[in-house]
Amino acid sequence: MTAVTDSTARRPGIVWLMWRRTGFAPLLLLVLLVLNVVLNPVRFAPGNWGTLIGLAAPLIGAALASTPAILGGRGGIDVSVGPLMGFVNAIVVKVMITELGMSSPFVIVPAALLIGAAVGAVNGFLAAYVRIQPIVATLGTYLVLVGVTLTILPSPMGSVPAWLKLFSGSLSIVPLAAIFLIWWGIRRLPYYDHLMATGSDDRAAYTAGVDVPLVRFLSYVVTGVFAGIAGLMLTALIGSADGNIAPTYTLIAISAVALGGVSLAGGRGGLLGAAIGAICIFLIQSVLTLFNVSTFVLQIAYGAILVIAICLTAIQDRIEKRARQR
């Protein structure tokens, strides 16, 4: 998409492309990383990076999961990502491992993916074919999922098999890499272009023959599958079933996506930006905890950094637009 604009001038460098795709977030990431390493060398010692990645993984997963539905445009959003992670967590630990005694990865992983895909399909059906505004449709599934999760899991319980526990540390790279691999595959399909075209201008895409409802439906299915994987990462991290943690991921994930330069209006951005946004949020939380400020101050700073960062992204967009017009 960027190639069209610079056919006349020099080839864009990798830095420029990165800047275009993810905006201001990589710079923030760099600053935060340096700040964290300088201020807290022990926690950020190379040996600890595995643990840190493990801690950040569910948030990164949630942000990655939120992205495809948002890329579809026209208010496309999935607020049920967090509760879906919790639902997967509850089903896997409470129903499959504790009650049915199934602990083989060859059962649990496909089951998590299937649950994710199924809930995503319901969301997609409601948003794309029944044509309920996405935030309302997924709010409906949000409430249903939270309600059902708390019904089958009134209080935290259970434990996870050793193989799943393995993925709570540096190995949590593996599920994240799996998500990126799936996305890499999707980007090689015509579907990806259809999704971005639909997100930028669904009417133009429709007149060009794109099956807009189907494209949007599939974006929710992809979001669901990714949320299923993120649910497994959360399960690995907390090592038990807990119905109250996951729903809080929804809004943070959407913040991370916005921070990562993904346009909430659709059609712009990608998984890399979302991941960088999520890591930024994790690092913000980390650096603020370090200052030993109360959680209340942490909350102010968190909100302020979010607002300032998205403002800077918007300002960067304007400067870029002006530069292009010149």
Partner 1 sequence: MRVHLNSTGARVAGAILIAVLLFLAGSALIEGYSSAFSIRAMLVLACLLAVACVGQTLTIIIGGIDLSIPFVIGFANVVAAQLYGDGMNFVLVCAIVGVLALGIGALNGAISAGLNLHPLIVTLGIGTIVQGAVLVWTRGFPSGSAPEAVTKFVSIGGSVGPIPVPWLIPAFIALSVVIIVVLNRTPYGRRLFALGSNPRAAALALINPLRMWIVTFALSAFFAAVAGVLLLGFTGSAYGDVGQPYLFQTIAAVVIGGTALVGGRGSFLGTVAGAVVLTQINTLLIGLGLQPSLVQAALGLVIIVLVSLYGREAHVRATI
302 contributes a contact to partner 1 by CB under 8 A: yes
Nearer to partner 1, 237 or 258 (CB): 258
Interaction of residue 17 with partner 1, rule CB under 8 A: no
- The stretch near partner 1 (CB under 8 A) out of 8-16, 107-115, 229-237, 292-300 is 292-300
Q: Does 55 bind partner 1 (CB under 8 A)?
A: no
- For position 254 contacting partner 1 by CB under 8 A, the verdict is yes
258 binds partner 1 (CB under 8 A): yes
Token readout for 248 is 């809080």
User: Which one-letter amino acid corresponds to residue 145?
Assistant: L
Q: Give whole-number Cα distances, 239 to 39, 77, 110, 120, 290, in Å.
A: 30, 29, 19, 25, 25
- Determine contact, residues 66/277, Cβ cutoff 8 Å: no
**CB of 123 closer than 8 Å to CB of 204:** no
- Cβ at position 71, least distance to partner 1 in Å: 14
Q: Judged by CB under 8 A, does residue 303 bind partner 1?
A: yes
Strand partners, 157: 241
Half-sphere exposure of residue 216: CA atoms within 13 angstroms, side-chain side: 31
User: Site for partner 1 (CB under 8 A): which residue of 136, 177, 181, 189?
Assistant: 136
Q: How far apart are CA 279 and CA 32, in angstroms?
A: 10
The neighbour count for residue 200, using CB atoms within 10 Å, is: 17
Region near partner 1 per CB under 8 A, out of 1-9, 85-93, 177-185, 298-306? 298-306
- Which of the stretches 38-46, 127-135, 189-197, 220-228 binds partner 1 when contact is defined by CB under 8 A? 127-135
Cβ nearer to partner 1, comparing 52 with 91:
91
The CB density around residue 287, as the number of other CB atoms within 10 Å, is: 19
Q: Do 74 and 277 touch, CB atoms closer than 8 A?
A: no
Rule CB under 8 A: is residue 299 a binding residue for partner 1?
yes
Contact between 57 and partner 1 per CB under 8 A? no
Query: Which residues, 6+ apart, have CB-to-CB distance to 187 below 8 Å?
Result: none
Q: Enumerate the β-bridge partners of residue 241.
A: 157
139 binds partner 1 (CB under 8 A): yes
264 binds partner 1 (CB under 8 A): yes
71 binds partner 1 (CB under 8 A): no
| 148 binds partner 1, rule: CB under 8 A | yes
Of the residues 168, 219, 223, 255, which one makes contact with partner 1 according to CB under 8 A:
255
Site for partner 1 contains 276 (CB under 8 A): no
Residues 6+ apart with CB under 8 A from 65: 78, 81, 85, 179, 223, 224, 226, 227, 229, 230, 253
60 forms part of the interface with partner 1 (CB under 8 A): no
Q: Is 131 in the site for partner 1 (CB under 8 A)?
A: yes
Cα–Cα dist 206/304, whole Å:
39
Q: Which stretch binds partner 1 (CB under 8 A): 109-117, 172-180, 271-279, 301-309?
A: 301-309
Interface positions with partner 1 (CB under 8 A): 74-75, 77, 126, 130-133, 135-137, 139-151, 154, 202-203, 206-207, 212-213, 251, 254-255, 258, 263-265, 294-304, 306-307, 310-311, 314-315
